[in-house]
């Protein structure tokens, strides 16, 4: 239940997200440096999508990876659901490759479920694999029932990942989706692992339990939130930042090991779900 680069190395337990990056020309240079710092820190899994900035994030990734050994990187992008059929997916994939200045993707994800049947999308993904344009494929924003349906179509069991929103303040996936994926050794990529913004994010960072745990480890609240996810088998958080200092902070979270007592305290502060809940979006 892990990702491997083309040269067989592991990209590290924490990846890098790019949602909202690449859209501001004034911030491009700093965001590029942040991604490069992440690579230097071992966060060689970089996630993006054709949707992000209408391709701008993919272009940022393409610029950032120049000069690095491509086979040591693990590049992920996503296709719009309305591009995920035979008439569009091959063009979309090649366009993403051009923007990212690479010959192949390590992982190509269906961004969310649309009207194209799973069977058609899976068949196209398998064709992309045979053409050498992608090494593996997966999905994003699919709940348990969707996953069951996906895995039932021909070659659906080749799904290599499911990317969903998951953080300490949004634990609904723990009720059935995460166990379902773990049983099938399908990694869960956690986007917005530090919460997206607003009151919820502030509440997580300012929570007394989170603050106390951070203090005891000489860590930051963000690092505690990432360590919480890293304690879950098969979960790969992909925090997004355009600042070098925050990239280093995120990378350092991989060294933080929470104790059983600390995890219990976090459960008390942010209780795990006791019933089925819809996938969260914040």
Please identify every residue annotated as catalytic: 52
Q: Which two tokens stand for residue 75?
A: 């590049």
Q: Is 260 exposed, middle or buried (0-12, 13-18, 19+ CB in 10 A)?
A: exposed
- CA angle 176–44–166, rounded 5-degree value: 25
Q: Is the dihedral of CA 56, 227, 229, 165 positive or negative?
A: negative
Q: Which two tokens stand for residue 139?
A: 């999905």
Measured in whole angstroms, how far is the alpha carbon of residue 149 from the centre of its chain?
A: 22
Q: What is the 3-state secondary structure (H, E, C) of 96-123?
A: HHHHHCCCCECEEEECCCCCCCHHHHHH
d(CA 26, CA 261): 45
Q: Which two tokens stand for residue 28?
A: 């491009």
Q: Tell me the C-alpha to C-alpha distance, in Å, between residue 191 and each of 129, 134, 167, 195.
A: 25, 21, 8, 9
**What is the per-residue DSSP string for 161-210?**
-EEEE-BTTB-GGGTTHHHHHHHTT--EEEESTT--SHHHHHHHHH-HHH
Which of 11, 35, 12 shows the shortest CA–CA distance to 22? 35
């Amino acid at each position: 239940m892990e990702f491997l680069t083309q040269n067989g190395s592991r990209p590290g337990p924490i990846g890098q997200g790019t949602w909202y990056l690449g859209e501001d020309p004034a911030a491009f240079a700093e965001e590029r440096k942040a991604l490069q710092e992440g690579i230097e820190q071992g966060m060689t899994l970089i996630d993006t999508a054709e949707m992000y900035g209408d391709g701008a994030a993919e272009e940022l990734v393409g610029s950032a990876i120049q000069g690095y050994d491509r086979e040591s990187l693990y590049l992920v992008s996503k296709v719009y659901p309305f591009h995920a059929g035979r008439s569009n997916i091959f063009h979309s994939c090649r366009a993403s490759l051009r923007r990212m200045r690479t010959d192949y993707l390590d992982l190509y994800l269906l961004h969310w479920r649309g009207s194209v049947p799973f069977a058609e999308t899976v068949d196209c993904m398998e064709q992309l694999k045979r053409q050498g344009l992608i090494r593996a494929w997966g999905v994003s924003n699919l709940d348990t029932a969707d996953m069951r349906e996906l895995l039932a179509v021909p070659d659906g069991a080749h799904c290599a990942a499911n990317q969903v929103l998951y953080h300490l303040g949004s634990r609904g996936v723990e009720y059935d989706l995460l166990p379902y994926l773990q049983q099938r050794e399908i990694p869960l990529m956690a986007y917005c692992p530090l919460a997206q913004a607003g009151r919820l994010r502030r509440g997580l960072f300012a929570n007394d339990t989170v603050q106390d745990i951070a203090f005891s480890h000489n860590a930051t609240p963000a690092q505690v939130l990432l360590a919480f996810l890293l304690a879950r088998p098969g979960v790969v958080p992909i925090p997004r930042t355009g600042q070098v200092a925050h990239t280093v902070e995120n990378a350092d979270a991989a060294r933080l090991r929470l104790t059983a007592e600390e995890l219990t305290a976090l459960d008390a502060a942010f209780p795990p779900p006791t019933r089925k809940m819809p996938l969260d979006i914040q």
